[in-house]
Chain A
Amino acid sequence: MIILQIFLLSSLFTFIFISLHFLSLYIFSFSKMVQQIIVPFILSNLICFYFVKDFEIYNFFYDSFIINITILIIYGQFVNIINKGFTLSIITSFKKKKKLFHNELIKNYANGKGAKWILLNRLKILNKLKIIKLNKRIVLNPFGHFLSIILIFLRKILAVKDFG
Protein backbone atom coordinates (compact mmCIF):
# COMPACT_ATOMS: atom_id res chain seq x y z
CA MET A 1 0.00 0.00 0.00
CA ILE A 2 2.85 2.39 0.87
CA ILE A 3 4.48 1.74 -2.47
CA LEU A 4 1.24 2.65 -4.27
CA GLN A 5 1.10 5.97 -2.44
CA ILE A 6 4.70 6.68 -3.44
CA PHE A 7 3.89 5.78 -7.05
CA LEU A 8 0.85 8.05 -6.91
CA LEU A 9 2.93 10.95 -5.64
CA SER A 10 5.64 10.33 -8.24
CA SER A 11 3.03 10.03 -11.00
CA LEU A 12 1.66 13.41 -9.99
CA PHE A 13 5.21 14.76 -10.09
CA THR A 14 5.86 13.22 -13.54
CA PHE A 15 2.71 14.79 -14.97
CA ILE A 16 3.56 18.26 -13.62
CA PHE A 17 7.25 17.91 -14.53
CA ILE A 18 6.65 16.94 -18.18
CA SER A 19 3.93 19.60 -18.55
CA LEU A 20 6.29 22.27 -17.18
CA HIS A 21 9.08 21.01 -19.45
CA PHE A 22 6.88 21.47 -22.52
CA LEU A 23 5.76 24.86 -21.24
CA SER A 24 9.40 25.90 -20.94
CA LEU A 25 10.01 24.62 -24.48
CA TYR A 26 7.00 26.12 -26.25
CA ILE A 27 6.10 29.23 -24.28
CA PHE A 28 9.35 30.42 -22.70
CA SER A 29 11.58 28.91 -25.45
CA PHE A 30 14.39 28.09 -23.03
CA SER A 31 17.44 26.95 -24.98
CA LYS A 32 19.64 25.60 -22.22
CA MET A 33 19.16 22.07 -20.86
CA VAL A 34 19.36 23.32 -17.24
CA GLN A 35 16.52 25.79 -17.77
CA GLN A 36 14.47 23.23 -19.71
CA ILE A 37 14.75 20.39 -17.21
CA ILE A 38 16.13 21.44 -13.82
CA VAL A 39 13.79 24.41 -13.31
CA PRO A 40 10.65 22.29 -14.06
CA PHE A 41 12.06 19.56 -11.77
CA ILE A 42 12.41 21.92 -8.80
CA LEU A 43 9.06 23.60 -9.46
CA SER A 44 7.12 20.35 -9.81
CA ASN A 45 8.61 19.01 -6.57
CA LEU A 46 7.60 22.20 -4.79
CA ILE A 47 4.08 21.99 -6.24
CA CYS A 48 3.78 18.34 -5.14
CA PHE A 49 5.04 19.23 -1.67
CA TYR A 50 2.56 22.10 -1.39
CA PHE A 51 -0.41 19.94 -2.36
CA VAL A 52 0.35 16.97 -0.11
CA LYS A 53 1.71 18.71 2.98
CA ASP A 54 -1.65 18.48 4.82
CA PHE A 55 -2.29 14.82 3.97
CA GLU A 56 -0.96 11.53 5.30
CA ILE A 57 0.81 10.85 2.00
CA TYR A 58 3.22 13.65 2.99
CA ASN A 59 5.15 11.08 5.10
CA PHE A 60 6.31 9.42 1.92
CA PHE A 61 7.48 12.59 0.23
CA TYR A 62 11.15 11.75 0.87
CA ASP A 63 10.85 8.32 -0.81
CA SER A 64 8.88 9.85 -3.64
CA PHE A 65 11.58 12.52 -4.06
CA ILE A 66 14.22 9.79 -4.58
CA ILE A 67 11.99 8.21 -7.25
CA ASN A 68 11.54 11.69 -8.77
CA ILE A 69 15.33 12.06 -9.10
CA THR A 70 15.37 8.67 -10.85
CA ILE A 71 12.64 9.91 -13.22
CA LEU A 72 14.63 13.11 -13.85
CA ILE A 73 17.75 11.11 -14.84
CA ILE A 74 15.78 8.79 -17.16
CA TYR A 75 13.89 11.67 -18.79
CA GLY A 76 17.00 13.85 -19.09
CA GLN A 77 18.90 10.97 -20.66
CA PHE A 78 16.03 10.31 -23.10
CA VAL A 79 15.95 13.95 -24.27
CA ASN A 80 19.74 14.00 -24.44
CA ILE A 81 19.84 10.90 -26.65
CA ILE A 82 17.30 12.38 -29.08
CA ASN A 83 19.38 15.55 -29.14
CA LYS A 84 22.92 14.16 -29.15
CA GLY A 85 22.85 10.40 -29.80
CA PHE A 86 25.91 9.36 -31.81
CA THR A 87 24.25 6.35 -33.46
CA LEU A 88 20.94 8.20 -33.95
CA SER A 89 22.82 10.92 -35.75
CA ILE A 90 24.10 8.34 -38.26
CA ILE A 91 20.50 7.33 -38.99
CA THR A 92 19.35 10.96 -39.37
CA SER A 93 22.13 11.52 -41.94
CA PHE A 94 19.81 9.66 -44.34
CA LYS A 95 17.07 12.30 -44.03
CA LYS A 96 18.09 14.22 -47.14
CA LYS A 97 19.82 11.55 -49.24
CA LYS A 98 18.57 7.99 -49.30
CA LYS A 99 21.76 6.38 -50.61
CA LEU A 100 25.18 7.31 -49.27
CA PHE A 101 28.72 6.09 -49.84
CA HIS A 102 30.64 5.47 -46.62
CA ASN A 103 32.72 8.62 -47.20
CA GLU A 104 29.57 10.64 -47.92
CA LEU A 105 28.09 9.40 -44.65
CA ILE A 106 31.16 10.66 -42.80
CA LYS A 107 30.79 14.06 -44.51
CA ASN A 108 26.99 14.27 -44.03
CA TYR A 109 27.12 13.31 -40.36
CA ALA A 110 25.38 15.71 -37.91
CA ASN A 111 23.52 17.68 -40.59
CA GLY A 112 26.54 18.04 -42.85
CA LYS A 113 29.01 19.03 -40.16
CA GLY A 114 30.96 15.81 -40.63
CA ALA A 115 32.27 13.18 -38.24
CA LYS A 116 35.46 15.12 -37.51
CA TRP A 117 33.34 17.98 -36.17
CA ILE A 118 32.25 15.93 -33.14
CA LEU A 119 35.84 15.13 -32.26
CA LEU A 120 36.90 18.78 -32.63
CA ASN A 121 33.83 19.90 -30.65
CA ARG A 122 34.66 17.54 -27.77
CA LEU A 123 38.33 18.57 -27.87
CA LYS A 124 37.34 22.24 -27.63
CA ILE A 125 35.11 21.51 -24.62
CA LEU A 126 37.89 19.51 -22.91
CA ASN A 127 40.30 22.37 -23.63
CA LYS A 128 37.86 24.90 -22.18
CA LEU A 129 37.52 22.77 -19.01
CA LYS A 130 41.35 22.72 -18.78
CA ILE A 131 41.46 18.93 -19.05
CA ILE A 132 43.67 18.98 -22.16
CA LYS A 133 46.00 21.42 -23.88
CA LEU A 134 45.17 21.79 -27.55
CA ASN A 135 47.46 22.98 -30.32
CA LYS A 136 48.11 20.75 -33.31
CA ARG A 137 48.64 17.99 -30.77
CA ILE A 138 46.55 16.95 -27.77
CA VAL A 139 48.22 16.85 -24.34
CA LEU A 140 46.68 16.05 -20.94
CA ASN A 141 46.81 18.79 -18.27
CA PRO A 142 47.44 17.89 -14.58
CA PHE A 143 43.67 18.07 -13.99
CA GLY A 144 43.20 15.73 -16.95
CA HIS A 145 45.70 13.29 -15.38
CA PHE A 146 43.73 13.35 -12.14
CA LEU A 147 40.43 12.89 -13.97
CA SER A 148 41.75 10.04 -16.10
CA ILE A 149 42.87 8.16 -12.96
CA ILE A 150 39.33 8.50 -11.54
CA LEU A 151 37.78 7.39 -14.85
CA ILE A 152 40.09 4.36 -15.15
CA PHE A 153 39.33 3.48 -11.51
CA LEU A 154 35.56 3.70 -12.19
CA ARG A 155 35.94 1.60 -15.35
CA LYS A 156 37.77 -1.04 -13.28
CA ILE A 157 35.07 -1.03 -10.57
CA LEU A 158 32.27 -1.41 -13.12
CA ALA A 159 34.33 -3.90 -15.16
CA VAL A 160 34.13 -1.81 -18.35
CA LYS A 161 36.78 -3.34 -20.59
CA ASP A 162 36.17 -1.88 -24.01
CA PHE A 163 34.83 1.31 -25.61
CA GLY A 164 31.55 1.21 -27.54
Chain B
Amino acid sequence: MQLFLISTFFFLVVNFLISVLLKKYTYDKFFIYVVSYFILINFINLIYLKNINLFTFQSLFSVIILFVHSVLYRSVSVKIIVYLYLKKASVGINSFYKTEFKEKSFNKRVKILIDNGYLIKKNKYLTLSARGKKYLKVLKIFQSIYKIKFVEGY
Protein backbone atom coordinates (compact mmCIF):
# COMPACT_ATOMS: atom_id res chain seq x y z
CA MET B 1 0.00 0.00 0.00
CA GLN B 2 2.83 2.38 0.93
CA LEU B 3 4.50 1.62 -2.38
CA PHE B 4 1.33 2.53 -4.28
CA LEU B 5 0.99 5.82 -2.42
CA ILE B 6 4.67 6.74 -2.85
CA SER B 7 4.62 5.99 -6.59
CA THR B 8 1.40 8.03 -7.04
CA PHE B 9 2.84 10.95 -5.06
CA PHE B 10 6.07 10.78 -7.07
CA PHE B 11 4.05 10.78 -10.30
CA LEU B 12 2.10 13.90 -9.29
CA VAL B 13 5.18 15.81 -8.08
CA VAL B 14 7.13 15.13 -11.30
CA ASN B 15 4.03 16.00 -13.35
CA PHE B 16 3.74 19.34 -11.53
CA LEU B 17 7.44 20.10 -12.08
CA ILE B 18 7.13 19.30 -15.80
CA SER B 19 4.09 21.57 -16.10
CA VAL B 20 6.08 24.41 -14.49
CA LEU B 21 9.14 23.85 -16.66
CA LEU B 22 7.31 23.47 -19.99
CA LYS B 23 5.75 26.50 -21.64
CA LYS B 24 2.73 24.63 -23.03
CA TYR B 25 1.83 21.34 -21.34
CA THR B 26 -0.50 19.72 -23.87
CA TYR B 27 -2.17 16.31 -23.75
CA ASP B 28 0.44 14.84 -26.11
CA LYS B 29 3.25 15.82 -23.74
CA PHE B 30 1.31 14.44 -20.78
CA PHE B 31 0.81 11.17 -22.69
CA ILE B 32 4.57 10.89 -23.34
CA TYR B 33 5.21 11.57 -19.64
CA VAL B 34 2.75 8.86 -18.50
CA VAL B 35 4.23 6.26 -20.87
CA SER B 36 7.80 7.14 -19.82
CA TYR B 37 6.82 7.02 -16.15
CA PHE B 38 5.10 3.65 -16.64
CA ILE B 39 8.19 2.17 -18.34
CA LEU B 40 10.59 3.60 -15.74
CA ILE B 41 8.60 2.49 -12.68
CA ASN B 42 8.14 -1.03 -14.08
CA PHE B 43 11.80 -1.23 -14.99
CA ILE B 44 12.69 -0.43 -11.36
CA ASN B 45 10.00 -2.88 -10.23
CA LEU B 46 11.36 -5.63 -12.46
CA ILE B 47 14.95 -5.24 -11.25
CA TYR B 48 14.58 -4.43 -7.54
CA LEU B 49 11.07 -4.95 -6.20
CA LYS B 50 9.59 -7.78 -8.29
CA ASN B 51 6.12 -6.86 -7.09
CA ILE B 52 3.40 -8.04 -9.47
CA ASN B 53 0.68 -6.05 -7.70
CA LEU B 54 2.62 -2.85 -8.33
CA PHE B 55 2.72 -3.66 -12.03
CA THR B 56 -1.05 -4.25 -12.26
CA PHE B 57 -1.73 -1.14 -10.14
CA GLN B 58 0.51 0.99 -12.37
CA SER B 59 -1.21 -0.30 -15.51
CA LEU B 60 -4.65 0.64 -14.20
CA PHE B 61 -3.41 3.92 -12.70
CA SER B 62 -1.75 5.03 -15.96
CA VAL B 63 -4.85 4.34 -18.05
CA ILE B 64 -7.22 6.00 -15.55
CA ILE B 65 -4.99 9.06 -15.25
CA LEU B 66 -4.82 9.40 -19.07
CA PHE B 67 -8.60 9.06 -19.26
CA VAL B 68 -9.22 11.64 -16.49
CA HIS B 69 -6.69 14.05 -18.00
CA SER B 70 -8.28 13.80 -21.46
CA VAL B 71 -11.72 14.51 -19.93
CA LEU B 72 -10.40 17.51 -17.97
CA TYR B 73 -8.46 18.83 -20.97
CA ARG B 74 -10.86 18.22 -23.86
CA SER B 75 -14.43 17.71 -22.69
CA VAL B 76 -16.91 20.35 -23.82
CA SER B 77 -19.09 19.72 -20.75
CA VAL B 78 -16.17 20.26 -18.34
CA LYS B 79 -15.27 23.43 -20.21
CA ILE B 80 -18.84 24.78 -19.80
CA ILE B 81 -18.98 23.95 -16.07
CA VAL B 82 -15.54 25.44 -15.24
CA TYR B 83 -16.22 28.52 -17.39
CA LEU B 84 -19.53 29.21 -15.63
CA TYR B 85 -17.95 28.78 -12.19
CA LEU B 86 -15.04 31.12 -12.92
CA LYS B 87 -17.30 33.70 -14.56
CA LYS B 88 -19.63 33.67 -11.50
CA ALA B 89 -22.55 34.87 -13.63
CA SER B 90 -25.04 33.53 -16.14
CA VAL B 91 -23.95 33.37 -19.79
CA GLY B 92 -25.98 33.67 -23.00
CA ILE B 93 -25.96 30.53 -25.16
CA ASN B 94 -25.14 32.43 -28.37
CA SER B 95 -22.33 34.47 -26.85
CA PHE B 96 -20.83 31.33 -25.28
CA TYR B 97 -21.06 29.56 -28.64
CA LYS B 98 -19.36 32.40 -30.53
CA THR B 99 -16.61 33.34 -28.08
CA GLU B 100 -15.84 30.13 -26.23
CA PHE B 101 -17.00 27.18 -28.30
CA LYS B 102 -16.54 28.24 -31.94
CA GLU B 103 -13.35 30.21 -31.45
CA LYS B 104 -11.56 28.33 -28.68
CA SER B 105 -12.72 24.77 -29.38
CA PHE B 106 -13.88 24.27 -32.97
CA ASN B 107 -11.49 26.63 -34.77
CA LYS B 108 -8.65 25.47 -32.53
CA ARG B 109 -9.21 21.84 -33.58
CA VAL B 110 -9.36 22.86 -37.26
CA LYS B 111 -6.06 24.72 -36.80
CA ILE B 112 -4.50 21.63 -35.14
CA LEU B 113 -5.63 19.50 -38.11
CA ILE B 114 -4.08 22.01 -40.55
CA ASP B 115 -0.84 22.19 -38.51
CA ASN B 116 -0.59 18.39 -38.34
CA GLY B 117 -1.10 18.05 -42.09
CA TYR B 118 -4.56 16.47 -42.14
CA LEU B 119 -6.27 19.49 -43.70
CA ILE B 120 -5.09 21.93 -46.36
CA LYS B 121 -6.29 25.51 -46.63
CA LYS B 122 -6.39 26.66 -50.28
CA ASN B 123 -8.06 29.92 -51.36
CA LYS B 124 -10.34 29.97 -48.31
CA TYR B 125 -11.32 26.34 -49.05
CA LEU B 126 -10.51 23.49 -46.72
CA THR B 127 -9.68 20.09 -48.20
CA LEU B 128 -8.30 16.83 -46.87
CA SER B 129 -4.60 16.26 -47.51
CA ALA B 130 -3.30 12.84 -48.65
CA ARG B 131 -2.66 12.04 -44.97
CA GLY B 132 -6.19 13.16 -44.06
CA LYS B 133 -7.70 11.02 -46.85
CA LYS B 134 -5.78 7.98 -45.60
CA TYR B 135 -7.02 8.68 -42.07
CA LEU B 136 -10.62 9.00 -43.30
CA LYS B 137 -10.31 5.67 -45.15
CA VAL B 138 -9.12 3.87 -41.98
CA LEU B 139 -11.83 5.59 -39.96
CA LYS B 140 -14.51 4.47 -42.45
CA ILE B 141 -13.32 0.85 -42.09
CA PHE B 142 -13.54 0.98 -38.29
CA GLN B 143 -16.92 2.71 -38.45
CA SER B 144 -18.30 -0.01 -40.69
CA ILE B 145 -16.87 -2.73 -38.38
CA TYR B 146 -18.47 -1.09 -35.34
CA LYS B 147 -21.70 -0.24 -37.23
CA ILE B 148 -21.31 3.50 -36.65
CA LYS B 149 -23.17 5.60 -39.18
CA PHE B 150 -21.48 8.95 -38.41
CA VAL B 151 -19.24 10.46 -35.79
CA GLU B 152 -21.45 12.26 -33.28
CA GLY B 153 -18.78 14.63 -31.99
CA TYR B 154 -17.88 15.15 -28.34
Contact = CB atoms under 8 A, between A and B. Distances in A.
Contact of A111 (B67, B85, B150): B150
Contacts, number: 214
A164 B64 contact: no
Contacts of A43: none
A85 B76 CA distance: 12
Interface string B62-105: 01110111001110111111101100001111001100011011
The contact size tier of chain B is 35 or more
A87 B59 contact: no
B53 interface: yes
Interface string A66-103: 11011001100101001111111111101100111110
A16 interface: no
A151 B57 contact: no
Contacts of B135: 91
A83 B152 CA distance: 6
A86 B78 CA distance: 14
Query: What's the dominant secondary structure at chain B's contact region?
Result: helix
A136 B97 CA distance: 12
A32 interface: no
Contact of A148 (B85, B127, B142): B85
Contacts of A98: 127-128
A132 interface: yes
A37 B107 CA distance: 33
B67 A77 contact: yes
B37 interface: no
Contact of A90 (B77, B113, B143): B113
A157 B25 CA distance: 14
A3 interface: yes
A118 B80 CA distance: 12
A48 interface: no
Contacts of B82: 148, 151-152, 155
Contacts of B109: 86-87, 90
B81 A140 contact: yes
Interface of A: 2-3, 6, 25-26, 60, 63, 66-67, 69-70, 73-74, 77, 79, 82-92, 94-95, 98-102, 105-106, 109-111, 113, 115-120, 122-123, 125-126, 131-132, 134, 136-140, 144-145, 147-149, 151-152, 154-155, 157-164
Per CB-CB distance, the 8 closest pairs between chain A and chain B, nearest first, are A159-B19, A148-B85, A111-B150, A89-B153, A89-B151, A86-B154, A66-B56, A137-B90
